[in-house]
Homo-oligomer: A and B are copies of this chain.
Amino acid sequence: MSLLIKDVLLDGNVTSIYVEENRIAAIGGKARVEADTVIDGKGKAAVPGFVNTHTHAAMTLLRGYADDMNLQEWLSTKVWPAEARLTPEAVYWGTKLACLEMVKSGTTCFNDMYFHMDEAARAVAESGIRGVLSEGFIDRFDAARAEAEFRKAREVVRKIESMRNPRVRPAVGPHAIYTVSRESLVELHRWAEERGHPLHIHVSETNAEVENARKDFGKGPVEYLDALGLLGPNTVAAHCCWLSDAEVQTFAERGVKVSHCPVSNMKLATGRAMPLAAMRAAGVTVSLGTDGAASNNSLDMFESMKVAALLHKFAANEPTVATAHEVFEMATVGGARALGIDAGEIAVGRLADLVVIDLRRPELTPAHNLVSNVVYAANGGCVDTVLCDGRVLMQGRQVPGEAEVLERASSFAAKVAGAS
């Protein structure tokens, strides 16, 4: 199995990219001239596939169901009642829809936390992209509920492990410190380490979370998690808006990976821009997430890159911060590092997870600076071709089976909304 992308723009040069099996085998002069599959890259540019490090994929079913509301009212009157109507099949079709949207906007890997994740795993396996999937664990400090949650989480992890699909990895997903007991946090972390799986958790999204932690646990969220041993290089912490400088330092020392979700943070008004500059100065790996489609409402990483840059320039009152190059790295190599996948850049030996962008579009004209155009002017619709694990998932914007996914997901969305 070999694949050749001919005459494509890569890092400023027109070159060829040769893929053997699932890895990039050669670039440029050393690239072969023939292959089983040849893709014409003329007028196009290759960039790494984007890595979305925090989402709740099946929440696509709730896209536009409720917006512009206070967080607590939104959750209790809209999201939770709808989620109570979620079935495994709904999660399967909601995740199929999310994967389709991600492929069409150039995302080749995502870090997901939701329910019925064995069904999500089936959807990811079929989609051709990579998923790191955690069953959201919520015990609300109730021992009986914790036991049921462990049973479910173990079953889901076992099922995903048994798929033996290198693109579909299980993770352990304690939802947050305010929904999961101390005992469960410790046990989930022990279990994640034992199985060698990443740990995915929401941290310091709102100031209320920080204040409640001080009241309930006598310390801030980061100090609390650190005392329980949950902070390490296999932990992906989503949001982190309210981290103090000292907490950023702790993250750096423990090697915690951050998933920054600028669109969701702004839409839900979490009240503070994540301390990006401090994280970068401390050497924390920062990646980008869209969050779920109920609070974004798009899974387009191009948009998240631009909004990240805009948010930090605005919040710091300084146009030179969060450059195009910086947010592009967050969305690619930062995400790959966060999830421990050998991708995020187009280089010989790396996984063949890459995106071919059509440059012959008005919004990408002129071509003064490709990275600037990708971050500040492009959107997901500029993506022409997507490869993941060496396989072509989209070419000429065509993804096989799209119509069925839209139809079935729509019908489950109506059920989840209580409309049928």
Please give the residue numbers on chain A whose beta carbons come within 8 Å of chain B beta carbons, in ascending order.
60-65, 67-71, 74, 97, 100-101, 104-105, 263, 265-269, 271, 273, 293, 296-300, 303, 306-307, 309-311, 313-314, 316-324, 360-363, 365-370, 372-373, 376-377, 379-382, 402-403, 405-406, 409-410, 413-414, 417
Q: A319-B71, A365-B97 are in contact. Are A373 and B297 (CB under 8 A)?
A: yes
Residues of B within 8 A of A409 (CB): 365-366
**Cβ–Cβ contact A64 & B376, under 8 A:** yes
**Cβ–Cβ contact B381 & A61, under 8 A:** no
**Cβ–Cβ contact B263 & A377, under 8 A:** no
Contacts A64-B369, A267-B313, A365-B409 aside, 6 further interface pairs with beta carbons under 8 A come to A67-B323, A67-B372, A297-B376, A300-B363, A303-B379, A365-B410
Most buried by B among A70, A303, A363: A363
Give A273 to B365 CA distance when docked, in angstroms. 30
Q: Looking across the interface, which residue of chain B has its beta carbon closest to that of A320?
A: B68
**Cβ–Cβ contact B310 & A63, under 8 A:** no
Q: Looking across the interface, which residue of chain B has its beta carbon closest to that of A96?
A: B362
**Cβ–Cβ contact B319 & A70, under 8 A:** yes
| Set B269, B299, B321, B380: member contacting A319, Cβ < 8 A | B269
Give A362 to B413 CA distance when docked, in angstroms. 13
- Chain A interface mostly: helix
Q: A70-B320, A372-B297 are in contact. Are A267 and B310 (CB under 8 A)?
A: yes
Give A61 to B293 CA distance when docked, in angstroms. 35
Give A63 to B370 CA distance when docked, in angstroms. 10
Q: A362-B101, A377-B64 are in contact. Are A318 and B372 (CB under 8 A)?
A: no
**Cβ–Cβ contact B314 & A63, under 8 A:** no
Give A405 to B100 CA distance when docked, in angstroms. 32
| Set B263, B268, B324, B406: member contacting A67, Cβ < 8 A | B324
Q: A268-B319, A377-B298, A409-B365 are in contact. Are A68 and B314 (CB under 8 A)?
A: no
**Cβ–Cβ contact A363 & B101, under 8 A:** yes
**Cβ–Cβ contact A368 & B64, under 8 A:** yes
**Cβ–Cβ contact A314 & B64, under 8 A:** no
**Cβ–Cβ contact B363 & A299, under 8 A:** yes
Give A337 to B8 CA distance when docked, in angstroms. 46
Residues of B within 8 A of A269 (CB): 313-314, 316-319
Q: Nearest Cβ distance between residue A289 and chain B, in whole angstroms?
A: 15
Q: Nearest Cβ distance between residue A83 and chain B, in whole angstroms?
A: 15
Give A300 to B316 CA distance when docked, in angstroms. 25
**Cβ–Cβ contact A64 & B311, under 8 A:** no
Give A249 to B166 CA distance when docked, in angstroms. 62
Q: Nearest Cβ distance between residue A320 and chain B, in whole angstroms?
A: 5
Give A62 to B311 CA distance when docked, in angstroms. 23
Residues of B within 8 A of A365 (CB): 60, 63, 97, 406, 409-410, 413
What are some 14 contacts across the A-B interface (CB < 8 A)? A63-B368, A63-B377, A65-B369, A68-B320, A68-B321, A70-B320, A97-B362, A104-B363, A269-B314, A296-B376, A297-B376, A303-B306, A307-B307, A362-B406
**Cβ–Cβ contact A67 & B379, under 8 A:** no
The 3 closest A-B pairs by CB, nearest first: A381-B381, A366-B413, A64-B372
**Cβ–Cβ contact A266 & B311, under 8 A:** yes
**Cβ–Cβ contact B69 & A320, under 8 A:** yes
Q: Looking across the interface, which residue of chain B has its beta carbon closest to that of A98?
A: B362
Give A297 to B413 CA distance when docked, in angstroms. 35
| Set B314, B369, B379: member contacting A311, Cβ < 8 A | B314
| Set B60, B303, B319, B366: member contacting A68, Cβ < 8 A | B319
Give A363 to B100 CA distance when docked, in angstroms. 9
**Cβ–Cβ contact B300 & A68, under 8 A:** no
Residues of B within 8 A of A324 (CB): 67-68
Q: A268-B319, A369-B64 are in contact. Are A303 and B300 (CB under 8 A)?
A: no
Residues of B within 8 A of A403 (CB): 360
